[in-house]
Chain A
């Protein structure tokens, strides 16, 4: 994949859903290319809206979403989907759809309307199944799988899309710890080994700091802080975004910041963190 100069971002974008005011207003955001970005914030802060906006699902009322310096509105829906893949949060497969069939749908943007199934399509599906360790489940219906396997099947579909930018809406929610680590590890490998750009909405600050390169803290549709985990995860920022008092420790393995809620007023503030 060639070097992208600008990557994905938003310029003064205002996004909302028909009813009520805009969810985010005049937001500018640049997603670092070939990095793992985590969007963090309380429920209803607009994380998913930003993600959907970046994926072109909502057209901004003002401003624009930019890919490589050009508005994504200039791109067709399929052309955009070849560059940007989205894993939706509440996706549910129709009854009886097998993993193989689901993953094949990921090839949708690569196929002309009446085009036949090509060798490149088959390779992309095989590779997506392999990378998510789902090859053995190919003929199993998605609705018969466990939560973790189901999530991996959806990720495989997104991978089969072969977009260099992946947007994931809460990919680890409802998964147990082992599967969460699994999914995050896969994202990390995609960034490190294949040069992908990953943007994920996450809830766990510790995991975000451990796996992501770039954190964006959001509250009320505004960006409170963004940057490397070590500079973003400060008690002040966490208090400002989540309204929770925390202490920040350091992971002895990776030096990633670890965010720990305080016992009620028991601990004193830690000025150096």
Chain B
């Protein structure tokens, strides 16, 4: 697009290749180590051996869930930051993930819905409801209010979720790992039924990327430029709900991806969203996949990705709170 466009495209290509290698490697890590060439063989030319079954039925859905959920949450975070003008906006912190998780638990427990293709709609509804609530409570010039509103809505929904799970052991059993943000035990058909929504939202996000830069200049400027704010805010919200809802349905409420990745990307790309979003997509995928895989590779223990992400992301949040201009006063 611009002069640095070519260099940028090359870097993006390199990163994509890195992600691909990481993905193949991650599918080899686990209780039984499988070499990367063996993984590749299982993917392209499966012969029905045990290693093929492990790769295709256990590792592939898990890695796929991590990669796509991470990409979706990072992109959703970047868009939310543009929409709210708030550097701390993120689907996890602003309660969107908690809303989706709450609705999924409700659907499991009260409506006896179990198929992922139906649960996904519960997740969308919950994400949209929580986002609207947090925005209504916290919108304003002070960036902390939105975070506080997010914390409160999260803790409220968390309490209700906990009450429901205490009454419904069966639902608890289904979602125990999922609510901690674990990618373990994903079924390929579950992942496959969420994937179209998630990818669709990602495509929309990338198509609309140019709008988000205008939006990030603030409502007065954006309207002065002739942006139909009501329309584009609505579409952006729809995209965010689609991204966060399907990511949560797939991987549980993963926090901080949407915060860490866009900020790190901006340090390299600047503030133009046409460049931010593609990097966020790759970066979110890499971070989430690494969070899921590294503990297994290094210590042989299966730590839920949500926990690893919180350990990585919370210090980043603190650093941001300490150093960000808008929050300094």
Co-assembled chains A and B: yes
Contact in complex: B224, A85 (CB < 8 Å): yes
Contacts of A86 in B (CB 8 A): 220-221, 223-224
With A95-B325, A106-B225 already in contact, 4 other A-B pairs whose C-beta atoms are closer than 8 Å: A55-B223, A86-B221, A88-B220, A95-B87
Say whether A97 contacts B272, CB under 8 Å. Answer: yes
Q: How far is the CA of A55 from the CA of B221 in the complex (A)?
A: 11
Shortest CB distance A151–B (Å): 14
Q: Which residues of B contact A117 (CB under 8 A)?
A: 1
- Determine whether the beta carbon of A91 is less than 8 Å from that of B221: yes
Q: In the bound complex, what is the Cα–Cα distance between A106 and B218 (angstroms)?
A: 14
Would A91 and B271 count as touching, CB distance under 8 A? no
CA distance A117 to B2 in the complex (A): 9
Contact A88 B272 (CB under 8 A): no
| Shortest Cβ distance from B224 into A: residue | A86
Is B214's CB within 8 Å of the partner chain A? yes
B214 / chain A contacts, CB cutoff of 8 Å: 105, 108
**Are B217's CB and A79's CB within 8 A?**
no
The 0/1 profile, CB within 8 Å of B marked 1, for residues 167-180 of chain A is: 00000000000000
Given contacts A88-B218, A90-B220, contact A79 B226 (CB under 8 A): yes
Interface residues of A in 68-110 (CB under 8 A from B): 76-82, 85-88, 90-98, 100-102, 105-106, 108-109
A111 to B272, CA, bound (A): 16
Question: A91 and B1: CB pair below 8 A?
Answer: no
Known: A101-B213, A108-B214. A95 touches B223 (CB 8 A): no
Q: Judge if B47 is at the interface, Cβ distance under 8 Å.
A: no
B217 touches A93 (CB 8 A): yes
Residue of A nearest to B267 (CB): A96
**Interface residue? A52 (CB, 8 A):** yes
Closest chain A residue, CB of each to CB of B222: A108
Known: A93-B271, A141-B270. A57 touches B224 (CB 8 A): yes
Per-residue CB proximity of B212-240 to A under 8 Å, as 1/0?
01101110110111111000000000000
Q: How many residues of A contact B (CB 8 A)?
A: 39
Kindly report which residue of chain A lies nearest to residue B4, judged by CB atoms.
A139
Contact of A114 with B by CB under 8 A: yes
A226 in contact (CB, < 8 A): no
Contact B220 A57 (CB under 8 A): yes
Q: Which chain B residue shows the least CB distance to A97?
A: B271
A91–B325 touching, CB < 8 Å: no
Task: Judge whether A96 and B266 touch: CB under 8 Å.
Answer: yes
In this assembly, does B298 line the interface, its C-beta being within 8 Å of a C-beta of chain A? no
In chain B between 75 and 107, which residues have their CB closer than 8 angstroms to a CB of chain A? 82, 85, 87
Query: Are A81 and B271 in contact (CB-based, < 8 A)?
Result: no
The verdict on A161 contacting chain B, using a C-beta distance below 8 Å, is yes
Question: Which residues of A have CB within 8 Å of B207?
Answer: 114
Q: Please name all residues of chain B whose beta carbon is closer than 8 Å to the beta carbon of A95 when the two chains form the complex.
A: 87, 266, 271, 325
CB–CB A88/B270 < 8 A: no
Residue numbers in A under 8 Å from B210 (CB-CB): 111
Query: A31 to B45, alpha carbons, bound, how many Å?
Result: 74
Chain A, range 156-209, C-beta contacts under 8 Å to B: 158, 161
Complex CA gap A108/B210 in Å reads: 9
Nearest B-chain residue to A143, judged by Cβ: B325
Residue among A95, A111, A114 with the most chain B CB within 10 A?
A95
Q: Which residues of A contact B82 (CB under 8 A)?
A: 94
Other-chain residue from A76, A77, A114 in contact with B223 (beta carbon distance below 8 A): A77
Nearest chain A CB to B219 CB, angstrom units: 8
- When chains A and B are docked, how far (Å) is the Cα of A101 from the Cα of B269? 11
